[in-house]
Amino acid sequence: MTAPKHIAIVGGGTAGWMTANLLRQRWARLGIEVTLIESADIGTIGVGEGSTPFLRQFFRTLGIAERDWMPACNATFKCGIRFPGWSSVPGYESYVHPFFNEADRELGNQFFTNACLRRRGQAADANPQDFFLAAELARQRRAPHYEVDAGLGTDYAYHFDAGLLGAFLRTHALGLGVRHIVDTVARVEQHDSGDIAALLLASGARVDADLFVDCSGFKGLLITETLGEPFHPYHDNLFNDRAIAIPTSLVEGEDIPSETVSTALRHGWAWQIPLTTRYGNGYVYSSGFVSDDEAERELREHLGAAAQGATARHLRMRVGCVKQHWRQNCVAIGLAQGFIEPLEATALMLIQFSVEHFITALEQDGFEPGRREAFNRRVAEMFEGVRDYVVAHYQLNTRRDTDYWRANRANRNISDRLASLLQVWDRGGDFEAALERHGAALMYLRPSWYALFAGMGRFAAELRPAAQAITAAQAKARLRLMAAAFSSHRNHLMGG
Ligand SMILES: Cc1cc2nc3c(=O)[nH]c(=O)nc-3n(C[C@H](O)[C@H](O)[C@H](O)COP(=O)(O)OP(=O)(O)OC[C@H]3O[C@@H](n4cnc5c(N)ncnc54)[C@H](O)[C@@H]3O)c2cc1C
């Protein structure tokens, strides 16, 4: 195959527009045309308001500055995720998965040392929220930006309105020359080889292309419904299959939080995502343990008066992924390729990585599809890596209030890799070596694994006194000093 002349993308959700931008940005110089078809009758999922730090790279690749896209999407900064209520271990009832900053080097190392001491039975302080700058910035509702440049790198992610981000990316893609058709794909025509030949639209129009990208959402119009690629559900690992979203108002004049809060409820967890204009809230839960009505009642109770009169949206989630993300002349991106429940807000990151790997795979072999298998292996590995990290949250929970949490903790359907990490941690073994052995397949780096295992309080109940490098109180005092050099989140966003 030579370079494709025409790529057709089905779907105008975040996945479709992210893909259209990345492909056109990269390949316009080769004269490759990109057409995106979206249906006016089939909506987008309309949620997905948090990111990982990798979204910064996405905007850099497109040459889009924060000042251009953030206000247009009511976006805020995200220093990390706080997890109240997942653990009942005293002192560890809430912890933070921080994004890591250059300024963390010293206290961060002391956290690793303390966590190792505690893992080996000594009473050293090891809650990550006491040692990482991002946790303190979030506590003080500051932006991850120094008021005066300190020459130290900070890492952070974003929150944004999913609908506005889609609209922003659409405008940008059209500016890059992406063709846009609003119509519904009614039928798909295939060659004898099985390759997709053309999309037949409800209006009677026909779109021929040599490469097709399936961004049609959970149903996987091309990859699953047309090409028959099997879907592998993760329900043995991850029980949640439903979500409810309810927006609430920001309190006028209040500082805007710079973190996502993911609070454990009785049958799942509730997200709270701050935008500049409102909060996005939702409840992710398992229909095997609670009815939709009961879940909505529980979420409303959690949100209190703020949710009164607000409309709830009920969503079904298809959790898992296809085995071959690239099959024949079709690659699936976004919900069509798979989805891991949104606990770590990883979906857009997987979209971005999948498209980037696809571009590399095609370019490396001069557009011969010989790298299809390697691409499929790497994308499967990424999904499994993220899945394991998310599953670990449920394994490590110490709640005793419902069957849901007990069943999650008792679930033995976890990967061998995760089982071995848990074992090494619990036995006081060489956790560093265990992490290194799995390398890039883990997706999450050493600090994230430490933050999760230690943050949940996964330590022996009986501890000996320790000669620790630094106590939580000393670390927090240092963090408070460091945080004073950062801007208020509200002022940074609103220019106040
Ligand atoms: C509860 C929940 C919370 C989430 N939170 C996060 C988060 O915090 N962070 C994150 O990164 N991700 C999150 N996600 C995932 C994120 O929302 C999606 O990955 C992202 O929006 C991409 O969706 P999509 O574009 O693949 O699909 P969709 O948004 O469903 O778009 C599908 C598109 O396909 C089109 N289409 C379908 N059929 C046809 C047809 N026959 N003809 C033409 N067009 C068609 C539709 O019109 C639509 O434009 C969350 C998801 C859920 C369910």
At 77-118, the pLDDT tens digits run: 999 999 999 999 999 999 999 999 999 999 999 999 999 999
Which residue carries 């990208």 as its tokens?
213
The C-alpha atoms of residue 451 and residue 20 are separated, in whole angstroms, by: 36
Cβ atoms within 10 Å, residue 160: 28
Which residue carries 């119009």 as its tokens?
221
The C-alpha atoms of residue 220 and residue 214 are separated, in whole angstroms, by: 7
Q: Given the CA of residue 333, which atom of ligand 1 is nearest to it? A: 26
Q: What is the DSSP string of 218-285?
A: TT-IIIIIIT---EEE-TTT----EEEEEEEEPPTTPPPP-SEEEEE-SSEEEEEEE-SSEEEEEEEE
Q: What is the DSSP string of 33-80?
A: EEEEEE-SSS-------B--TTHHHHHHHHT--HHHHTGGGT-EEE-E
Does residue 366 have a pLDDT over 80? no
What's the distance, CA 264 to chain centroid?
18
Structure-block tokens of residue 467: 């000669």
Average pLDDT over residues 440-444: 92
Nearest CA to ligand 1 atom 13: 48
Of 42, 52, 261, the residue with max ligand 1 atoms within 8 A of its CB, to mutate for a pocket test, comes to 42
Which residue carries 């271990």 as its tokens?
89
Does residue 321 have a pLDDT over 70? yes
DSSP H or E segment with residue 207: strand 206-208
The C-alpha atoms of residue 362 and residue 119 are separated, in whole angstroms, by: 46
Nearest CA to ligand 1 atom 15: 48
Give distance in angstroms: CA of 12 to centre of ligand 1: 8
Average pLDDT over residues 373-379: 94
pLDDT digits (tens, 9 = 90+) for 222-279: 999 999 999 999 999 999 999 999 999 998 888 999 999 999 999 999 999 999 999 9
pLDDT digits (tens, 9 = 90+) for 158-202: 999 999 999 999 999 999 999 999 999 999 999 999 999 999 999
Q: Determine the pLDDT at residue 368.
A: 75
Q: Determine the pLDDT at residue 496.
A: 57
Q: Using the Cα atoms of residue 119, residue 120, residue 126 and residue 132 in order, give the sign of their dihedral.
A: negative
Q: Given the CA of residue 38, which atom of ligand 1 is nearest to it? A: 44
pLDDT digits (tens, 9 = 90+) for 397-432: 999 999 999 999 999 999 999 999 999 999 999 999
Banded pLDDT at 487 (limits 50, 70, 90): very high
Of 36, 41, 44, 221, the residue with max ligand 1 atoms within 8 A of its CB, to mutate for a pocket test, comes to 44
Give distance in angstroms: CA of 183 to centre of ligand 1: 17
Task: Reduce the DSSP state of residue 326 to 3 states and report it.
Answer: strand
Q: Is the distance from CB of 245 to CB of 282 less than 8 angstroms? A: yes
The dihedral formed by the CA atoms of 209, 215, 216 and 221, expressed in degrees to the nearest 10: 60
Of 335, 339, 341, 386, the residue with max ligand 1 atoms within 8 A of its CB, to mutate for a pocket test, comes to 335
Report the percentage of the chain scoring pLDDT > 90: 93
Give distance in angstroms: CA of 387 to centre of ligand 1: 19
User: What does residue 332 show for φ and ψ, rounded to 5 degrees?
Assistant: -100, 135
DSSP H or E segment with residue 385: helix 372-396
The C-alpha atoms of residue 129 and residue 139 are separated, in whole angstroms, by: 9
Banded pLDDT at 367 (limits 50, 70, 90): confident
Nearest CA to ligand 1 atom 33: 11
Nearest CA to ligand 1 atom 49: 12
Give distance in angstroms: CA of 259 to centre of ligand 1: 23
Q: Given the CA of residue 11, which atom of ligand 1 is nearest to it? A: 34
Give distance in angstroms: CA of 162 to centre of ligand 1: 9
Contacts of 361 (CB under 8 A, 6+ apart): 326, 371, 372, 374, 375
Q: Given the CA of residue 284, which atom of ligand 1 is nearest to it? A: 1
Is the full-model pTM beyond 0.75?
yes
Does residue 130 have a pLDDT over 70? yes
Q: Is the distance from CB of 407 to CB of 285 less than 8 angstroms? A: no
User: What does residue 60 show for φ and ψ, rounded to 5 degrees?
Assistant: -65, -45
Average pLDDT score over the chain? 96
Q: Given the CA of residue 49, which atom of ligand 1 is nearest to it? A: 8
The C-alpha atoms of residue 90 and residue 387 are separated, in whole angstroms, by: 28
Give distance in angstroms: CA of 132 to centre of ligand 1: 33
Residues flanking ligand 1, CB < 6 Å: 10-16, 37-39, 42, 44-45, 47-51, 162, 184-185, 215-217, 221, 243, 282, 315, 317, 334-336, 342, 345, 347-348
Q: Determine the pLDDT at residue 59.
A: 98
Q: Determine the pLDDT at residue 252.
A: 83
Structure-block tokens of residue 426: 């619990």
Q: Determine the pLDDT at residue 81.
A: 98
Contacts of 206 (CB under 8 A, 6+ apart): 198, 199, 200
The C-alpha atoms of residue 418 and residue 439 are separated, in whole angstroms, by: 13
Q: Is the distance from CB of 469 to CB of 110 less than 8 angstroms? A: yes
The C-alpha atoms of residue 394 and residue 86 are separated, in whole angstroms, by: 8
Average pLDDT over residues 293-318: 97
Does residue 1 have a pLDDT over 60? no
DSSP letter (8 states) at residue 122 = B
Span of 35-39, 355-359, 468-472 with lowest mean pLDDT: 468-472
Catalytic amino acids? 78
DSSP letter (8 states) at residue 2 = -
Average pLDDT over residues 470-478: 96
